[in-house]
């Protein structure tokens, strides 16, 4: 019982302190209004400066592209990897990128055929082909033209690739008077 009385007493003190005055029973309670003249309201403009902390930008990842590589006489994948990437162990990567063209034996690659090598796009070479017209003469063969024009008879493969439609239409015989497209530069990427 004493506890209950103590709680009631503390509640009453709390109400008096919070409300200012306690109304008596039956007394009408008026809302107290403060006069603006008695109370000064101070308004201050608060300026808050904000700033954003920017994280340093990560360098962009290099964009890689595949670039054609013309196989040279005496090339093999380890030699190409060492020359092109400075790492002979990358021959496996070159083989994986070109497995469909090379076949099951990575030791069988042929001059004047092409491989695809991966490069950063910023380091890729301009590989635009530039041609000149050549009129086939009597006795010309792809082999003799390759030797005469490109300095290597094995480059006949390039002549065939560049003029395949014309060669197929004549059953593989070079017809005198036919105009072939010949590369000004055998390997456009070198």
pLDDT band at 97 (very low <50, low <70, confident <90, very high): very high
Average pLDDT over residues 127-135: 92
Domain final position from 107, 123, 139: 123
Q: Report pLDDT for 74.
A: 93
Q: Report pLDDT for 39.
A: 55
Highest mean pLDDT among 11-20, 81-90, 116-125: 81-90
- The answer on 112 and 79 residing in a single domain is yes
More confident residue, 135 or 46: 135
Q: Which two tokens stand for residue 163?
A: 């003029």
CB 110 within 8 A of CB 128: no
Judge whether 112 lies within some domain: yes
> Taking 60 as the threshold, does the pLDDT of residue 30 lie above it?
no
Least confident of 37-41, 114-118, 171-175: 37-41
Least confident of 47-61, 104-118, 134-148, 172-186: 47-61
> Taking 90 as the threshold, does the pLDDT of residue 57 lie above it?
no
> Taking 70 as the threshold, does the pLDDT of residue 163 lie above it?
yes
Judge whether 33 lies within some domain: no
Average pLDDT over residues 128-142: 94
Global confidence as pTM: 0.59
The CATH number that applies at residue 93 is 3.10.350
Q: Which residues pair with 68 in a beta bridge?
A: 116
- The answer on 118 and 75 residing in a single domain is yes
Judge whether 1 lies within some domain: no
> Taking 80 as the threshold, does the pLDDT of residue 8 lie above it?
no
Judge whether 176 lies within some domain: yes
CB 66 within 8 A of CB 116: yes
Q: Which two tokens stand for residue 120?
A: 């950063």
> Percentage of the chain with pLDDT > 70?
73
DSSP, res 21: S
pLDDT band at 40 (very low <50, low <70, confident <90, very high): low
Rounded Cα distance, 186 and 158, in Å: 8
Length of the chain in terms of residues written = 190
Rounded Cα distance, 190 and 188, in Å: 6
- The answer on 140 and 89 residing in a single domain is no
For 139, the 3-state DSSP assignment is coil
Nearest residue to 180 (alpha-carbon basis) of 144, 127, 128: 144
Q: Report pLDDT for 18.
A: 56
Average pLDDT over residues 162-172: 93
- The answer on 154 and 119 residing in a single domain is no
What is the count of structural domains for the chain?
2
H-type alpha helices, the chain: 2-19, 77-85, 91-97, 99-102, 142-145, 156-162, 164-169
- The answer on 101 and 137 residing in a single domain is no
Nearest residue to 109 (alpha-carbon basis) of 149, 66, 78: 78
Domain coverage including residue 144: 131-183
């Amino acid at each position: 019982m004493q506890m209950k009385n103590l709680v009631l007493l503390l509640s009453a003190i709390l109400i008096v302190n919070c409300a200012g005055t306690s109304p008596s029973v039956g007394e009408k309670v008026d809302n107290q209004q403060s006069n603006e003249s008695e109370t000064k309201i101070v308004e201050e403009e608060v300026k808050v400066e904000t700033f954003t902390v920017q994280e340093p930008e990560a360098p962009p990842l290099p964009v890689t592209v595949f670039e054609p590589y013309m196989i040279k006489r005496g090339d093999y994948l380890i030699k190409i990897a060492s020359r092109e990437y400075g790492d002979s162990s990358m021959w496996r990567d070159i083989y994986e990128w070109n497995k469909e063209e090379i076949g099951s034996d990575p030791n069988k690659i042929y001059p004047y055929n092409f491989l695809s090598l991966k490069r950063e796009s910023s380091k890729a070479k301009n590989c635009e082909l530039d041609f000149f017209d050549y009129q086939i003469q009597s006795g010309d063969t792809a082999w003799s033209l390759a030797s005469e024009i490109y300095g290597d008879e094995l480059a006949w493969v390039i002549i065939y690739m560049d003029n395949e439609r014309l060669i197929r239409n004549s059953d593989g015989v070079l017809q005198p008077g036919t105009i072939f497209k010949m590369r000004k530069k055998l390997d456009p990427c070198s």
